Structure 1
Amino acid sequence: FNTFVGGRFEKLIREELLQRLDIITPQKIGRWWGHYREKKTNNRKELEIDIVALNETTKEILFGECKWKNNVDGNQLLKNLKEKTRYFEWSNKQKIGEKYYIILAKSFKKKNTEKNVYYFDLNDLEKILT
């Protein structure tokens, strides 16, 4: 059940929320899958970023991670998301300009204030979407 709802939660964010936020004006919104090779073992590791929103005109990009869980450690989620974004490339090899990050969860136990980082819990989403 949580997997199903989590997928719908991500879809809601991509299709409804991003257009209402005043972070970037996205021209393209989707997900991203990629991979890298571990240095020690050379094993292929898969990566997924729940939300990628691009503005090709301004070169701005927004990366997001959604968790349908309570008491999420937003700091750890942000750290993991930033690590994944190291492997992201635009398909046409454009240089990325300003980067933004959004972390979404039912609720948070930890979240720091940091430039270009936004945290949203269910209470925040209710205010934005209604």
Structure 2
Amino acid sequence: MRNAMGELPIVFTSIGRWWGTNPVTHGQEEIDLVANDGKDYIFGECKWRNEKLDLSVLRKLKAKADIFSKNRNSTYYMLFSKSGFTEAVINEAKSDSSIMLVDLDEIMNF
């Protein structure tokens, strides 16, 4: 719904989850949400835990996003959390407009 209403940084035409082999580490990776419009991407991580999502989750998501082609115009990151976010994550999102935080209340209305 938010996509159709233009409330996200891109109007994506493709969305899903991704899993596969990291070509650098040769380990298995997964990304909960990958959406794109052909040139811009949103990568998302969802955590349904009783503790706040911390900065390590954002760093890991950014590292996993690097698996994808560097030939993209813009990259955005969405973090979804049942229990909210640590102060460090909130501060990072305030200083970087490519990071979007979605807490439980927003998830229920997404």
CA–CA separation in structure 2 for the residues paired with 1:19 and 1:125: 17
Larger Rg: 1
- Counterparts of 1:1-130 in structure 2, within 5 Å, are 18-19=3-4, 21-36=7-22, 37-38=24-25, 44-56=26-38, 59-89=39-69, 95-110=71-86, 111=89, 112=91, 113=93, 114-126=96-108, 128-129=109-110
Deviations along 1:39-62, one digit per CA (max 9) or x if unpaired, are xxxxx3001001000101xx1100
Q: In percent, how many aligned pairs have the same letter? A: 31
Q: Give the aligned CA root-mean-square deviation in angstroms.
A: 2.1
Structure 2 unmatched ranges of 5 or more? none
TM-score by length of 1: 0.68
More helix by proportion, 1 or 2? 1
Task: Please tell me the residue identity of whatever aligns with 1:30.
Answer: G
Task: Provide the C-alpha distance between the structure 1 equivalents of 2:80 and 2:97, rounded to a whole number of angstroms.
Answer: 16
Paired residue type of 1:102: M
Structure 1 unaligned spans of 5+: 1-15, 39-43
The alignment of Structure 1 onto Structure 2 pairs a total of residues equal to 102
8 Å CA contact retained: 1:74, 1:103:
no
Could you tell me how far apart the structure 2 residues matched to 1:24 and 1:97 are?
11
Asked whether the equivalents of residues 20 and 28 of structure 2 are also in contact (C-alpha less than 8 Å), the reply is yes
Deviation per residue, 1:42-84 (Å, 9 max, x gap): xx3001001000101xx11000001111323342211010011
Q: Distance between the aligned counterparts of 1:45 and 1:108, measured in 2?
A: 29
